[in-house]
Chain A
């Protein structure tokens, strides 16, 4: 279950089904960890997995088993108000841990939930990655260059993070400012730009050096280097539940999202073109999923996408779409109907970057015919 917490109350905005399992029988299931990683990575900062649901299909009673209790305790240590929902197909029960760490049934309310506003953060820089040809020659696999760059970039951002500057419409935003005036609900709104101060640049250039290391641990510059240009363009919504917070209070959230959930993933998936001395990073493509934005990484070039995560993205989008199969017989609120249509349109647009565009469009036509026409 995907949502957020405000004033100690959970708000569930959407669900994403697990389709892959490491192990699944009629009495127990272990979802595949990779699937959870894929789902949680596309979610924005501030909205995430806040609970789980599953069924006991052959039980006449709905209950929370000892296995479910253990999982709820473990998940609640990571997110204290985690909710666990169990159904037998007819009745649904909702559970949380109480103050004594005992599982307890909780009341719920069905309402059209409000999606919080977000800070729109952008980061646009061109880096100059200097790499020794000897380092390239000694790599076991070509994609290990990506890992070397990833490691170097992580260290670089960790070292300069506290000195980064924020700007909105070219006016500096101070870290003790209240963030309320900067909250947005559209991705096309004026963003807050994160800038690297010029003191961290050399001749206006951000340099990342990947040279050999001497026995002392110091990098040794080689005469035979390649200089690769890497353009990073990131745009990310950081959803905010407490409008009265100041920027420095959510600094760690911005840092986690920008570095770990955006830039490093782009570097991991980048295309290193040694001939053209260029590192091409994928772009953020946002899909409106029940009113909030989830992000898919894709290149604007079908050929590059084909050799990257094309199959994985097709599979992921198909999994999201399969959820709407269950919506055929449900009366959706007006707002949700609108979101479903926007989501389908967004997928159609994203599909233009992939060779499976026609296959996805066929799926979308089927869903529009089967579901949306029934809803309107």
Chain B
């Protein structure tokens, strides 16, 4: 386990000010397992939350089942957090 992977960064771009929040997490944990915690911190419901990397690629359900270490190697350590915004 390396210290490099212990913090990932989430950026919320909804609202007039973009906000960046560091999120300390163990590298071997699956991102899916911390989604409820991320949802609470950002106030987005778990069903509505979406995570995308710096290139705008939205992480799939399969991606979310990967460990944080694998995701950081594949997508980078900084992610945008997005509320789907369902209307009806």
Contacts and interface: CB of A to CB of B under 8 A. Distances in A.
Interface residues of A, number: 61
B87 A37 contact: no
Contacts of B28: none
B83 A217 contact: no
A268 B53 contact: yes
Nearest to B52: A37
Contacts of B78: 150, 154, 260, 264
Interface string A50-90: 10101000000000010110110011011100100000000
A49 B72 contact: no
A27 B16 CA distance: 29
Contacts of B3: 217
A310 to B, nearest CB: 14
A89 to B, nearest CB: 15
Most chain B CB atoms below 10 A, which of A68, A75, A155: A75
A237 interface: no
A38 B7 CA distance: 24
Which among B13, B14, B56, B87 has the greatest number of chain A C-beta atoms within 10 A? B87
A262 to B, nearest CB: 11
29 contacts: A30-B84, A30-B86, A33-B84, A34-B56, A34-B57, A34-B58, A36-B82, A37-B80, A37-B82, A40-B13, A48-B17, A71-B86, A74-B44, A77-B43, A79-B16, A144-B73, A147-B74, A151-B77, A154-B9, A154-B77, A154-B78, A155-B77, A158-B22, A213-B4, A217-B3, A257-B18, A260-B11, A267-B54, A268-B76
